[in-house]
C-alpha cells in the first residue's frame, strides 16, 4: 500500500496520476485534510483517509497498513516543522518502510528562507530511524507560467533574480520521479536533486514574447521595488518577502542544478520551458 499526503493539492494530484500508471488504485491511499472534498480521488478508486498535519490523531489511523509514503511538504510556511514532525512520528509508529519526502533543491546548502523548514524536516527524518528518500524538488515551471496574463498586459515580467539560472521542471515531472521512486527499489537513504533545463528570467520573457507575438521584457528590480510590485498586486507581505528572498536565491545560483537525476529517474527529458509556456498561453481566455 502506498499513501500520498496532501493528495488534494496540485502535486498530489499529479502524483496520483503518475502512480496509477504503475500500480492499481486499490493499492493507493490518499491522505487529505478534508475527505468530503476529495470525491475526485475516491472516484479514481483510491481509499481516501483524513490526514491533517495539524491533527496528529488523524495520522496514525491514516497510515495503518501503509508500506510506503509520499510525504508532500505542507503549504503553511512557518508552521511546517511541527506539522512535519507529526507526520514523521506517525510514520515511525506505523512502521512505514519508506518515506519519500518532497524537499527543496540543495536543501543542505541553500540560503533561501523557504529551505529552512525543509532542512529541519530532513533532519527529523534522518533522526527518526524511518527509512527515507529525499526528493529535493527544484522550482515548478508552473510558478513562472501560471501568471502570464499580467505579463502580457504589462509587456513585462518583474523579479529580482538577475541573470540567475532556474532549473525548473513541471509538477508532472516531479510527480513521475516520485512515482518511480515509490514503485522502484534501492532508493533508501538516497538524496535526489531534481531539476529541469535551466533558464533565466530574461529567457522566460523572450520565450513568452516569441510565442505570444508581443513584446515582453524582464525587468530586474532591486528587492524593495520588487516587493512593492508584489504587494501592489495584492500579495500578503510575508508571501512577497518569501518570493523576493527566493529570487535572491536564484540570483546566487541556488535554484540551478545540472545533476540530471530527474531525467534519469523519469527516463526522459523533463518538460521544456517552451512547452510549459505554450500550454499556459493556450489556457488563457481569448482576448
Ligand atoms: N517546488 C516549488 O516550486 C514549490 C512551489 C510551491 C510550493 N511547493 C511545496 O510543494 C508542496 C506541494 O506543492 P503543490 O503545488 O501541490 O501545492 P498546493 O497545490 O498548494 O497543495 C498544498 C497541499 O498541502 C495540503 N496541506 C496544507 N496544509 C495541510 C495540513 N495541515 N494537513 C494536510 N495537508 C495540508 C493542502 O491541503 P488542502 O487541499 O486541504 O488545502 C494541499 O493538498 C507545497 O505544499 C509546498 O510545500 C513547492
End-to-end CA distance of the chain: 47
- Which of 68, 75, 74 has its CA nearest to residue 86? 74
Distance 287 CA to ligand 1 centre (A): 31
**Ligand 1 atom closest to residue 12's alpha carbon, by position in its atom list:** 16
pLDDT, tens digit, 9 for 90 and up, residues 63-107: 999 999 999 999 999 999 999 999 999 999 999 999 999 999 999
Distance 209 CA to ligand 1 centre (A): 30
pLDDT, tens digit, 9 for 90 and up, residues 224-265: 999 999 999 999 999 999 999 999 999 999 999 999 999 999
79: CB partners within 8 A, 6+ apart: 54
Is pLDDT of 174 > 80? yes
In 155-272, which residue ranges form alpha helices assigned H by DSSP?
171-183, 201-212, 223-232, 237-251, 261-266
pLDDT > 90 fraction of the chain, expressed in percent and rounded = 99
Three cell numbers at 46?
A: 483510491
Q: Which of 3, 74, 145, 193 to mutate to test the pocket of ligand 1 (most atoms within 8 A of CB)?
A: 74
CATH of domain 2-137+171-193: 3.40.50.720
Q: Pick the residue whose CA is nearest to atom 21 on ligand 1.
A: 9
Per domain, the residue ranges of the chain are 2-137+171-193
Q: Which of 41, 49, 75 to mutate to test the pocket of ligand 1 (most atoms within 8 A of CB)?
A: 75
Ligand 1 pocket check for 249: Cβ under 6 Å? no
**Ligand 1 atom closest to residue 14's alpha carbon, by position in its atom list:** 16
Ligand 1 pocket check for 242: Cβ under 6 Å? no
Residue 183 CA to residue 223 CA, distance in Å, equals 43
pTM over 0.85: yes
List phi, psi (to 5°) of 258: -125, 30
Amino acid at each position: 500500500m502506498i499513501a500520498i499526503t496532501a493528495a488534494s493539492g496540485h502535486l498530489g494530484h499529479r502524483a496520483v496520476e503518475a502512480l496509477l500508471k504503475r500500480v492499481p488504485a486499490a493499492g493507493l491511499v490518499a491522505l487529505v485534510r478534508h475527505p468530503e472534498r476529495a470525491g475526485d480521488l475516491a472516484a479514481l478508486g483510491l481509499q481516501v483517509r483524513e490526514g491533517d498535519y495539524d491533527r496528529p490523531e488523524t495520522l496514525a489511523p491514516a497510515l495503518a497498513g501503509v508500506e510506503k509514503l509520499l510525504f508532500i511538504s505542507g503549504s503553511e510556511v512557518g508552521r511546517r516543522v511541527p506539522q512535519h514532525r507529526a507526520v514523521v512520528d506517525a510514520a515511525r509508529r506505523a512502521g512505514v518502510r519508506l518515506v519519500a519526502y518532497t524537499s527543496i533543491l540543495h536543501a543542505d546548502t541553500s540560503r533561501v528562507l523557504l529551505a529552512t523548514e525543509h532542512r529541519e524536516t530532513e533532519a527529523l527524518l534522518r533522526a527518526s530511524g524511518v527509512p527515507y528518500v529525499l526528493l529535493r524538488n527544484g522550482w515548478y515551471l508552473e510558478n513562472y507560467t501560471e501568471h502570464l496574463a499580467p505579463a502580457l498586459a504589462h509587456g513585462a515580467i518583474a523579479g529580482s533574480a538577475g541573470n540567475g539560472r532556474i532549473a525548473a521542471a513541471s509538477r508532472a515531472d516531479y510527480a513521475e520521479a516520485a512515482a518511480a521512486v515509490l514503485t522502484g527499489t534501492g532508493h533508501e537513504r538516497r538524496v535526489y536533486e531534481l531539476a529541469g533545463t535551466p533558464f533565466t528570467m530574461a529567457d522566460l520573457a523572450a520565450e513568452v514574447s516569441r510565442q505570444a507575438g508581443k513584446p515582453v521584457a524582464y525587468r530586474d528590480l532591486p528587492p524593495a521595488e520588487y516587493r512593492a510590485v508584489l504587494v501592489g498586486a495584492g500579495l500578503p507581505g510575508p508571501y512577497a518577502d518569501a518570493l523576493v528572498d527566493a529570487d535572491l536565491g536564484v540570483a546566487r545560483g541556488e535554484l540551478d542544478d545540472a545533476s540530471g537525476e530527474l531525467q534519469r529517474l523519469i527516463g526522459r527529458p523533463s518538460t521544456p520551458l517552451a512547452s510549459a509556456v505554450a500550454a499556459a498561453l493556450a489556457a488563457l481566455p481569448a482576448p
